[in-house]
């Protein structure tokens, strides 16, 4: 069974991303062709990258890194739920990506972003990261406007069109996650 991690990419107090991630999980869990699990970065406190060796070598020295690596390695693909901060992604999310390398490779990723313009620039940042980490980012994304998809910028109230966009993104993500499975198998055998 294809396993998809829904990464909640903000640890900020009063984050609206948690509402969004729970919505993604609820909609995704209606499907039966994949399993979905919420991965909250609050549950994986990673100090600013503190590994002495580059992540590409996979020589992790710290327990927090090994635990994070095991979590990420257990998934075939990801939905990243990220707010946009200053035309980019939160530092905690970038740090979580930077800790690992091989565990991200040959996996599909779908994006759900929030911000004044739907988090479009955060999505651009995430697509650049995905390319460097040998991840396949799917075309459909969900961009949630703080003024249109939230009441008073705090209470998540997405329109029906956002559910349609999410379902399309999940279709693509599941298909690509399954299609990349032979590459993951070949890499693990090497």
Cα separation, 37 vs 43, in Å, equals 13
Which domain does 181 fall in, by range?
2-189
Rounded to whole angstroms, how far apart are CA atoms 3 and 20? Answer: 20
Three-class secondary structure of residue 143 per DSSP: strand
Q: What is the CATH number of the domain that holds 180?
A: 3.40.50.360
pTM for this predicted structure: 0.96
| Residue-level pLDDT at 124 | 97
Q: How many CA atoms lie within 13 Å of 75's alpha carbon, on the beta-carbon side? A: 27
φ, ψ at 50 (rounded to 5°): -125, 15
Single out the residue of 47, 41, 107, 31 nearest to residue 74, CA to CA.
107
Of 102, 111, 188, 107, give the one whose Cα is nearest residue 142: 111
Query: Which pLDDT score, from 0 to 100, does residue 186 have?
Result: 83
Tens-digit pLDDT string for the chain (190 aa): 999 999 999 999 999 999 999 999 999 999 999 999 999 999 999 999 999 999 999 999 999 999 999 999 999 999 999 999 999 999 999 999 999 999 999 999 999 999 999 999 999 999 999 999 999 999 999 999 999 999 999 999 999 999 999 999 999 999 999 999 999 988 877 7
Give the count of domains, the chain: 1
Chain centre distance of CA 85 = 16
């Amino acid at each position: 069974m294809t396993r998809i991690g829904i990464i909640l990419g903000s640890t900020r107090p009063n984050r609206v991303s948690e509402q969004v991630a729970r919505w993604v999980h609820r909609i995704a869990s209606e499907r039966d062709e994949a399993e979905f699990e919420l991965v909250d970065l609050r549950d994986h406190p990673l100090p600013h990258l503190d590994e002495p060796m580059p992540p590409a070598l996979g020589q992790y020295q710290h327990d927090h890194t090994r635990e994070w690596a095991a979590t990420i390695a257990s998934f075939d693909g990801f939905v990243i739920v990220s707010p946009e901060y200053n035309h980019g992604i939160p530092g905690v999310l970038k740090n979580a990506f930077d800790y690992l390398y091989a565990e991200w490779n040959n996996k599909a990723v779908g994006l759900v972003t929030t911000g004044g313009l739907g988090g479009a620039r955060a999505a651009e940042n995430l697509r650049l990261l995905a390319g460097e980490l040998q991840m396949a980012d799917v075309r459909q994304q969900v961009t949630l406007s703080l003024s249109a998809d939230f009441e008073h910028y705090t209470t998540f109230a997405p329109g029906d069109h956002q559910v349609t966009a999410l379902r399309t993104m999940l279709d693509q993500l599941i298909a690509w996650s399954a299609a990349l499975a032979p590459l993951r198998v070949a890499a693990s055998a090497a």
